Structure 1
Amino acid sequence: MHKLPVLGRKRRTDLLVWCFAFICAILAIIVIIAGIIVFIGYLAIRPKVPLLYVNAARLDDVIYNQASVLAVRLTIAIKAENHNQKAHVSFYNTRLTLEYHGLSIAMLVADPFEVKKNTSEEFYYVVESSPIPLGKQEQLLTQQALQKGLFPFFLKGNSRTRWRIGSLGSVKFWLHINCHMWLPTNSSVVFPHCSSSSH
């Protein structure tokens, strides 16, 4: 006859394992509660990404001589908007490059500034380029632009934004502008309304 196995005392779970499981459970509860608080705060405040865009632009003067050297003067209005109802927004590291057929004309820079909740700020830049020697391709394009009375410019660059969501912390975004502007030589104001994208 086979002997039945003798059962010993039941093995108890180690106290250290119980402590570890308890700590993990507490941490999981804290994470869930924090997530709920953040979600409720987001619904209450409804944060919106600020905007930076080219509101208006004007070509004030064009000088193009027989030596194929171009000089221009422009006025550009850049607008910063904050549609958040409950948060001020800070803009910093704002740097925009003005180009003409790939040639860099000027750098538009703004000191750090703040836009109050649900308001906007507008900045005017008067850009006077240094004399720009043009290559053959740019010479041809410039002559065509003079005949049409319409000059193409390209404004691109970035700005950094930061704002607080109540006591939940701050949110940061990079704003990017890529704006093609066709400006008439008769000094008419153009409203490109090129808005920024963000990430």
Structure 2
Amino acid sequence: MPSHRDHGHAAEHHQPRLRRRLVNTHHSANTHPLIWLAAILCTVIAIGVVIAGIVVFVGYVVIHPRIPVISITNAHLDLLSNDYAGLLQTQLTIMVLAQNGNAKAHATFSDVRFNLSYQGQAIAVMVAGIIEVPKNSSQTLRYVVQSKSIPLTPEQMEEVDQSWKRDIIGFDVKGSARTRWRVGPLGSVRFWCNLECQLRFHPSNGSYIKHSRCTSESK
């Protein structure tokens, strides 16, 4: 049977190995300096983004600019012709106003795109490049839209006939534009202007029936 002295020797024999394990475990738990550096950089970037957002927000509140809008201010039905074969031809002149009501901020309109249709039948797409509008000013876009012969269904042909009798016909406009304006030297604010309305005319003389709904809403 092993004596107490033998047990003591065995404990002394295993004790250094246990120490080595503890030392190795403590060494592997140390964090690499690159990880600390990455964490510090991420923290600095996050703080910078928060500060920039606060600065832009404060500038927006101080200046409180009006959101630029796009409106259809006038139009004319230059041509409306349909035949017994169910083919429709039309031409419209449409005046689109890009308006910047900000007295302290220059505005930019881009990605301007509006679809013109009749009873679900596509007529044309109205587009424009970048539009620069100074402070408290506006710029007018003039579109002359001419369709090719549009084949109509019997129901649509009946609707055109009724439009002639009522002396009222409507065309649908739907689209959007991106607006951006600077909040002083602090940053910029962006919105989408969405426009959806119906242009109504008197076919007898082509005159436009004005209403207030053809103005964009911001999103």
Pairwise TM-score range, normalised by the shorter structure? 0.7 to 0.9
- Judge conservation of contact 1:58–1:190 (CA < 8 Å) in 2: no
Match of 2:80 in 1: 62
Task: Report which of the two structures shows the higher radius of gyration computed on alpha carbons.
Answer: 2
CA distance in 2, matches of 1:30, 1:106: 46
TM-fit CA distance, 1:44: 2.7
Equivalent residue, structure 1, for 2:211: 192
SS of the residue corresponding to residue 173 of structure 1 reads strand
Gap runs ≥5 in structure 2 = 1-39
Q: Which residue of 2 aligns with 1:91?
A: 109
Mapping 1:84-123, distance limit 5 Å = 84-123=102-141
Structure 2 partner of 1:44: 62
Question: Is 1:53 the counterpart of 2:71 in the alignment?
Answer: yes
**Which residue pairs with 1:136 in the alignment?**
154
Structure-2 separation of matches of 1:137 and 1:31: 57
Partner Cα distance (2:173, 2:120) in 1? 10
* Contact 1:57 1:192 (8 Å CA) reproduced: no
1:48 Cα deviation from its structure 2 partner: 1.6
The structure whose residues are more often helix, as a share, is 2
User: In 1, distance between residues paired with 2:51 and 2:142?
Assistant: 47
* Structure-2 change in CA distance of 1:58 and 1:35 (3 Å): closer
Indicate the SS of the match to 2:66.
coil
Range moving further from structure 2, 38-47 or 126-135: 38-47
Deviation for aligned residue 1:40: 4.2
> How many pairs does the alignment contain?
175
Equivalent position amino acid for 1:48 in 2: R
After TM superposition, the score normalised by the length of structure 2 is 0.73
Structure 1 pair 189–34 and aligned structure 2 pair: CA distance change class (3 A): closer
Matched to 1:159, the amino acid is A
Shift of 1:162: 1.1
Q: CA deviation at 1:30?
A: 8.3
* 2:195 paired with 1:177: yes
Please, which runs of 5 or more residues in structure 1 have no aligned partner?
Answer: 1-22
**Structure (1/2) with the larger strand percentage:** 1
Higher relative contact order (CA closer than 8 Å, sequence separation 6+): 1
Whether the 8 Å contact between 1:54 and 1:191 is mirrored in structure 2 is no
> SS of the residue aligned with 2:122?
strand
* TM-score, structure 1 normalization: 0.80
Runs of 4+ with deviation above 3 angstroms: 29-40
